[in-house]
Structure 1
Amino acid sequence: MGLTSNKTLVLAVLSAVLLFAGTVWLWPRLARRSWRAVGGRIGLLLGTQLALFAAVGLAANQAFGFYASWADLFGQEKDQGVVVDHTPGGGPLEVVGSRRVPGAGGALPRAGGRVQEVGIVGRTTRIATPAYVYLPPEYFQPRYRTHRFPTAVVLTGYPGTASALVEKLHYPRTALELARDGRAKPMILVMMRPTVTPPRDTECVDIPGGPQTESFFAKDLPDALRSHYRVAEKAGGLGIIGNSTGGYCALKIALHHPDVYAAGAGLSAYYKAPIDATTGDLFQGDKALRNRADLWWYLAHMPAPDTSLLVSSSRRGETNYRDTLRFIERVKDTGRTGISSIVLESGGHNFNTWRREIPAALEWMSERLTEPLK
């Protein structure tokens, strides 16, 4: 039986109920002080707790889609995502610390690249947030000392931590390996949370009377990066990618600001900002602002931007699968905005799934960022 099968869930619930009833029924017989009685009590209590834990875990997994199969749960899903192109015809920035790229080997940055921990302060929004910046080996090599590199902003989900992009999703290591294999250009990666004013989930919205999160990503962040690093100066050299909430933000910001971001990739993204306890009232009754944050409404009512989008999902395990297919068709109908996709056969809303999609997504991003090595 599959992990997400109703039969599996029913079996787990029945097991928990039967073990609980058995514990109550057999407890008087196990009330003696012998080792056998004590062992029986321990076994019944442990079995009941494990069955209850399994039932609750299976129910939560069905509700939220964390894992699609037993192989997904135990990290055994290894098939890599493949991009399908649906397009017709084909401020101040302070460096806090730095370290080697995990798993890259080599002590010198010109051999393995470097990850710097930085603090970014928006010049106009005054938003301050931490980030990690991956600089490829070429950044430190003398022959490229005047070269500006294509750059991708990388966003986590909510609540997320920027360090997970380095340590769990392996973005720097993947970018390094792709460049070494000639599958992607050497790129700078700027890895951070979309939640720049925690604990509030701002959904990358300019909130009336609150944090101007979209403006931070659209204006302050690119300005800060260009003032401190040799990032691409043209719009064609900057992209944005994220998973879950970060994926929604990446798609929205690429759609709203094609003059800044040439491409946006949403892994396991959704397409409309939620309103819940973590977000509060994002729009303060402003209907125009709410519509603008709704990607369905935006594509139907606003001029199609000249940018490229990538979306991902799984046929089994992701709750956004049908919405993703609809989104692809909606973008194709614009006739101007490019759209590509990664669709796995199986994969839940988790790190293992995104690790399988990230290599293809970065390769896709590299193809759409025009700043070449000279």
Structure 2
Amino acid sequence: MTVAVPDEVARQARETGVLESPWIWLTCAALAVACVGLTVLVRRRTGPRRCGIALAVVFALLATTAGVNAHVGYVRSGRDLVLLLQRGGGPLRDLGGEFEQDGSMPGTRQIRLGGPDGPAVERMVIADPGSAVPGGRNFVLLPPGYTDAANANRRYPTVYLVHGNPGGPEDWLAAGDAPGTLQRFYRLRALPPMIVVSVDLTAGHARRDWEGLDVPGGPKLETYLAHSVVPAIDRRYRTLADRGHRALGGMSGGAFAALNIGLHHLDAFGALLLAMPYEVPDNRKRLGEDRALLAANTPRDYLPTMPFPRPVAAILTAGTGTPGDVEAAHRIAEAFRSRGQQATVHTEEGFGHTWRTARASLPYLLAFAAEHFERPRG
């Protein structure tokens, strides 16, 4: 199956952001070398020598950071950098300075990104103490016209996206550029309006590799997503609250979470959107010594034989720069097909296991979801 995406949308999703430019790390590296050279020239003067060494170290660190970012594509612009800093805690934790209170949606904050064609982004805090999730910061991207009086009775399909590990829900707004991709789709009228939710599966610990699991003695993130986030979104927003109009996706660890949770909840999700997926949990120790629990959360083991009382459609994407990802995508797709389910694979030439691949894949994930929403099966 070929997923149709306008050339403009696909091209811009693959473009390098300002802060991803290799010239940044090359410049910092050159400055580090220059500082080393100046330090040698003034080696007999203690003060200038120390200053030169300090500057060389600083520029070397900046060059390393910029080089890694140029490869990974985590921070593309100044806005991405702000979102990253705001995750750090304290006064930077909230997006309060960038988001304004919206009177029509009590308890949410809203900003429109990308002009009149861009989605309105709202932050919705959903707590589930029973699942050990103190207050997940979920971001809801609403299509243009959602609040117009003419659309007061219109309902929309929903796509849920899960971040990677480590990471947080801001990542799909920044590194994943979901607002920009949606804005371009909507401007070209190439995607039906939909609600996109970037789900917080950090349980308040963004550096821990939870993989969306119900962790014994820890957060129950599968339960949180399926039984807290989805119902809360359906209550707050005008969704088409059925599996035929609901998709679940993610990147890397988020793709594993989407695969595992989606297969456990076929009654809730009719389409799975998986960027750089894998089918065996990386951190199996979180599931303890219970072999049955591990098997129940290892799609590689249970997918080839599981029943499908309801059909599901899946798209799997990977970058050819990471052959293991491509092999995993085809292996999982074949497992779906062997069970009579629709599955397609899309690859990005030369990309690796990075956010650049997730960003380039997102148009195909959303277009696949839209095709499923228009022709739901089951």
User: Do they superpose with TM above 0.5?
Assistant: yes
Q: Secondary structure at the match of 2:233?
A: helix
Kindly report structure 1 stretches of 4+ aligned residues shifted beyond 4 Å.
29-33, 41-58, 72-75, 94-97
Distance 1:74 1:206, change over 3 A: closer
Match of 1:120 in 2: 126
Match of 1:242 in 2: 250
Q: Aligned partners of 1:178, 1:253: CA distance in 2, in Å?
A: 28
AA of the residue aligned to 1:224? A
The Cα of 1:370 is off from its aligned counterpart by: 4.4
User: 1:20-68, CA deviations, whole angstroms, 9 ceiling, x for partnerless residues?
Assistant: xxx9xxx8x99667xxxx99x999999999999999999xx8xxx9949
The Cα of 1:149 is off from its aligned counterpart by: 0.7
Q: Aligned partners of 1:66, 1:112: CA distance in 2, in Å?
A: 26
- What pairs with 1:1-374 in structure 2 (closer than 5 Å)? 67=71, 96-103=107-114, 105-106=115-116, 112-122=118-128, 125=131, 127=133, 128-199=135-206, 200-275=208-283, 281-304=285-308, 306-317=311-322, 319-334=324-339, 336-370=340-374
AA of the residue aligned to 1:242? G
The Cα of 1:320 is off from its aligned counterpart by: 1.7
Q: Aligned partners of 2:122, 2:222: CA distance in 1, in Å?
A: 24
Q: Aligned partners of 1:132, 1:66: CA distance in 2, in Å?
A: 26
Structure with the greater alpha carbon radius of gyration: 1
User: 1:331-355, CA deviations, whole angstroms, 9 ceiling, x for partnerless residues?
Assistant: 2211x22211111121022222222
Distance 1:180 1:207, change over 3 A: same
Contact in 2 for aligned 1:134/1:190 (Cα 8 Å) = yes
Contact in 1 for aligned 2:255/2:275 (Cα 8 Å) = yes
Q: Aligned partners of 1:145, 1:45: CA distance in 2, in Å?
A: 60
Contact in 1 for aligned 2:113/2:120 (Cα 8 Å) = no
Match of 2:86 in 1: none
Distance 1:337 1:124, change over 3 A: farther
AA of the residue aligned to 2:170? S
Q: Secondary structure at the match of 2:274?
A: strand
Contact in 1 for aligned 2:325/2:353 (Cα 8 Å) = no
Distance 1:155 1:268, change over 3 A: same
Q: Aligned partners of 1:116, 1:50: CA distance in 2, in Å?
A: 38
Q: Aligned partners of 1:176, 1:121: CA distance in 2, in Å?
A: 30
Distance 1:120 1:32, change over 3 A: closer
Contact in 1 for aligned 2:159/2:197 (Cα 8 Å) = yes
Distance 1:267 1:139, change over 3 A: same
Structure 2 unmatched ranges of 5 or more: 1-32, 77-104
Contact in 2 for aligned 1:269/1:320 (Cα 8 Å) = yes
Distance 1:50 1:300, change over 3 A: same
Q: Aligned partners of 2:188, 2:276: CA distance in 1, in Å?
A: 27
Q: Secondary structure at the match of 1:316?
A: coil
The Cα of 1:181 is off from its aligned counterpart by: 2.2
* TM-score, with structure 2 as normaliser: 0.69
The Cα of 1:194 is off from its aligned counterpart by: 2.6
Contact in 2 for aligned 1:175/1:186 (Cα 8 Å) = no
User: 1:308-361, CA deviations, whole angstroms, 9 ceiling, x for partnerless residues?
Assistant: 111111222454222222222222211x22211111121022222222111121
Contact in 2 for aligned 1:132/1:192 (Cα 8 Å) = yes
* Sequence identity percentage: 25
| Range with greater deviation from structure 2 (204-213 or 218-227) | 204-213
Contact in 1 for aligned 2:319/2:351 (Cα 8 Å) = yes
Distance 1:338 1:118, change over 3 A: same
Contact in 1 for aligned 2:126/2:137 (Cα 8 Å) = yes
The Cα of 1:284 is off from its aligned counterpart by: 2.2
Structure 1 unmatched ranges of 5 or more: 1-18, 76-93
Q: Secondary structure at the match of 1:225?
A: helix
The number of equivalent residue pairs is 310
Contact in 2 for aligned 1:150/1:370 (Cα 8 Å) = no
